[in-house]
Chain A
Amino acid sequence: MSAQDLVARVQKWSREQPWRLYGSQISILVRNEVRRNLFTRRRIWIYLLALLPVLMIVGHAISDRASMNPSQIEEDTQVLAGIMQLYYFRLGTFFTCMAIFTWLFRGEMVEKTLHYQFLVPVRREVLVVGKFLAGVVVAVALFETAVFACFFFMYARFGAAGKAYVFEGPGLGQLWSYLLVTALACLGYGAVFLALSLLFKNPVIPGVVIMGWETIAPIFPAWAQRLSVTFYLKHLCPVNLPLSGPLAIFTVVAEPVSPFIAVLGLLCLTIAILTLSCFLIHRMEITYTTE
């Protein structure tokens, strides 16, 4: 088959697809999943995981109010960078995405309700995309709020100096970078955990393995590092953390890449893992008794 034939086939296939229906199905799936995942008491520990640093920063701001000094801004910027890079991008988003995305299909298996999703005229690929987007909406909403709150409370206490740092200095750019990295972390980890939940009945152990891989990936060759989510995130962090010793493994950048390549690379990795999930979902059967 020539390349022209292939292109013609793809175009024909594309014309035959009911894209509008797919779009409306995805929006309904997202709506229902968000309601199911976001507004539930079962998720309280996820909110705590996301908001813990906010509480710490608020506590710090209140206790340090008397000794507040504008010269502390640089120091607090480093503290914030540490919270972002060591907590949010490694632990917070990782475990939250693990909880949210593994539950999208596996949770429905446990609750014995997945068959309802399989008995409607929805392509399973559309189901994967709909559920994934719902998970992304929940995770991004949660972490963007938390990151924004951390940033706000960290600099608001400095008054005019803080305002100047944010709007006239590098602050706003750092905020946008943190928000971008947070969203990308949710996309990357989300795709990984969605795929794991389709591969394994208990995705917790593979999740721990992934955590280990994300930690030790920097000691591997550059091509292998590209298979980790943190590889791309590190390149987008706006503030360098001067860590030394074993902790440096979290911040070391072996082979610098441009932010554009980092974003594109992570999106490609996400799409590749989602494509794998679309294949895996076709293998899935409703056998609740074996769960």
Chain B
Amino acid sequence: MTPDPRLIVFENVSKFYGEVLGVNKVTFSLEPGITSLVGPNGSGKTTLMNLMTGLIRPSRGAVHVLGLTPQQPIEFFRQVGYCTQFDSFPPGTAGYDFIYWPLRLHGFAHDQAAKLTNEALERAGMAQVARRKVAGYSKGMRQRIRLAQAIAHHPSVLVLDEPLNGLDPMARAESIALFEAIAKQGMHVIISSHILEEVDRISDRVVLMSSGYVVAEGQIKEVRREVRDHPMQILVRCSNAARLAAAAFELDHVVEAKILTDGHGVLVRTRDAEQFYLLLNKIVSGGLVEVDAVAPADDDVNSIYQYLIGSDGGPA
């Protein structure tokens, strides 16, 4: 079967480091847009990214990126940019050279390479310090110069391993805006991160990983549906919280109804959200409770992550 030239495809991929499992039987395909790999340390996120970019070879299975494999390096690495989490640089390198020389290896002539280098430095906010040695950069600057190198040749697939680590809030916001702009151009952006809130906001889809396995994959709402057996949390801001909590408890599918500490709302955990919304309508129309706001409290990566992995995704 010819691999789809639009997709990133993992076909039953396993990777073992000797006896140690990296990832096991991973199968999925990713469409353009922002995809987040979420999982605790050691869950296999970096292994998946390294497999995607050919830094390691699968023990079993096959990986295709836009129909290409790393065994075709000239075509492959013109399409792929990878910002690894290795915080190391060739000794004595200046920021500008760190981007310029790889571009020359791409085959760009001096003028074009210089233009692309300056453009990437601007986009990463590193133009002012480009002539300084990387060894003198702060952690955030080193992160951004690696990002600049990864995007300099305008790849169609941008793979970013923990790209927000070490960035201050301003740089983080700028980086996120950059990822979104790249994704809007129809490119693949693959991000791994522990910062679930940010991943949640920018992701088109998530791949949840635990102990080398993909435990869920798809759009956040789809993933939520995959785990519908787990109770869903609904936050209701209302005037008579105790009354609503009591009514909710009469329903079989409601697992928990917790009155908020300020007394102006209830956090309900239910296995049947539709039924709960019907009850809520009934109570509201009966005038027993005045509702200010209703919102699903856990339709984000963090809560899905907790359901699936039993951890908050923080560093292990």
Instruction: Please state if B88 and A120 are interface contacts (CB–CB under 8 Å).
Output: no
A109-140 interface mask toward B, CB cutoff 8 Å, 1 = contact, 0 = none? 00111011011111110000000000000000
Q: Which residue from A32, A115, A122 sits with its C-beta under 8 Å from B73?
A: A122
Please measure, in the bound complex, the distance between the C-alpha atom of A12 and the C-alpha atom of B127, giving whole angstroms.
Answer: 45
Identity of the chain B residue whose Cβ is nearest the Cβ of A18 in the assembled complex: B74
Instruction: Please state if A120 and B86 are interface contacts (CB–CB under 8 Å).
Output: no
A24 interfacial by beta-carbon distance below 8 Å: yes
Q: Which residue from B17, B56, B106 sits with its C-beta under 8 Å from A120?
A: B106
Question: A36-B90, A121-B106 are contacts. A285–B57 as well, Cβ < 8 Å?
Answer: yes
B77 interfacial by beta-carbon distance below 8 Å: yes
Question: A32-B101, A121-B107 are contacts. A113–B73 as well, Cβ < 8 Å?
Answer: no
A141 interfacial by beta-carbon distance below 8 Å: no
A25 interfacial by beta-carbon distance below 8 Å: yes
Please measure, in the bound complex, the distance between the C-alpha atom of A21 and the C-alpha atom of B75, giving whole angstroms.
Answer: 13
> Total A-B residue pairs with C-beta atoms closer than 8 Å?
69
Instruction: Please state if A120 and B105 are interface contacts (CB–CB under 8 Å).
Output: yes
B239 interfacial by beta-carbon distance below 8 Å: no
Please measure, in the bound complex, the distance between the C-alpha atom of A24 and the C-alpha atom of B108, giving whole angstroms.
Answer: 10
Instruction: Please state if A111 and B86 are interface contacts (CB–CB under 8 Å).
Output: no
Question: A116-B102, A286-B55 are contacts. A21–B90 as well, Cβ < 8 Å?
Answer: no
Instruction: Please state if B88 and A121 are interface contacts (CB–CB under 8 Å).
Output: no
A287 interfacial by beta-carbon distance below 8 Å: yes
Q: Which residue from B56, B92, B105 sits with its C-beta under 8 Å from A286?
A: B56
Q: Shortest distance in angstroms between B56's beta carbon and chain A's nearest beta carbon?
A: 4
A28 interfacial by beta-carbon distance below 8 Å: yes
| Chain B contacts for A116, CB-based, 8 A | 90, 102
| Chain A contacts for B102, CB-based, 8 A | 116, 119-120
Please measure, in the bound complex, the distance between the C-alpha atom of A122 and the C-alpha atom of B92, giving whole angstroms.
Answer: 23
Instruction: Please state if B104 and A290 are interface contacts (CB–CB under 8 Å).
Output: no
A220 interfacial by beta-carbon distance below 8 Å: no
Q: Shortest distance in angstroms between B18's beta carbon and chain A's nearest beta carbon?
A: 9
Identity of the chain A residue whose Cβ is nearest the Cβ of B18 in the assembled complex: A290
B50 interfacial by beta-carbon distance below 8 Å: yes
Instruction: Please state if A113 and B88 are interface contacts (CB–CB under 8 Å).
Output: yes
B305 interfacial by beta-carbon distance below 8 Å: no
| Chain A contacts for B90, CB-based, 8 A | 36, 111, 113, 116
| Chain B contacts for A290, CB-based, 8 A | 17
Q: Shortest distance in angstroms between B225's beta carbon and chain A's nearest beta carbon?
A: 37
Question: A28-B101, A285-B57, A287-B17 are contacts. A121–B75 as well, Cβ < 8 Å?
Answer: yes
Instruction: Please state if A119 and B53 are interface contacts (CB–CB under 8 Å).
Output: yes
Q: Shortest distance in angstroms between A159's beta carbon and chain B's nearest beta carbon?
A: 45
A179-215 interface mask toward B, CB cutoff 8 Å, 1 = contact, 0 = none? 0000000000000000000000000000000000000
B93-108 interface mask toward A, CB cutoff 8 Å, 1 = contact, 0 = none? 0000000011011110
Question: A119-B53, A287-B56 are contacts. A36–B91 as well, Cβ < 8 Å?
Answer: yes
| Chain B contacts for A21, CB-based, 8 A | 74, 107
B43-72 interface mask toward A, CB cutoff 8 Å, 1 = contact, 0 = none? 000000010011111000000000000000
A288 interfacial by beta-carbon distance below 8 Å: yes
| Chain B contacts for A123, CB-based, 8 A | 73-74
Instruction: Please state if B88 and A112 are interface contacts (CB–CB under 8 Å).
Output: yes
B78 interfacial by beta-carbon distance below 8 Å: yes
Q: List, sorted by A's number, 27 A–B pairs whose CB atoms are closer than 8 Å.
A: A18-B74, A21-B74, A21-B107, A25-B107, A28-B101, A32-B101, A36-B91, A36-B92, A40-B91, A111-B91, A112-B88, A115-B55, A115-B84, A115-B86, A116-B102, A119-B53, A120-B73, A120-B102, A121-B74, A121-B75, A121-B77, A121-B78, A121-B106, A285-B55, A285-B57, A286-B55, A290-B17
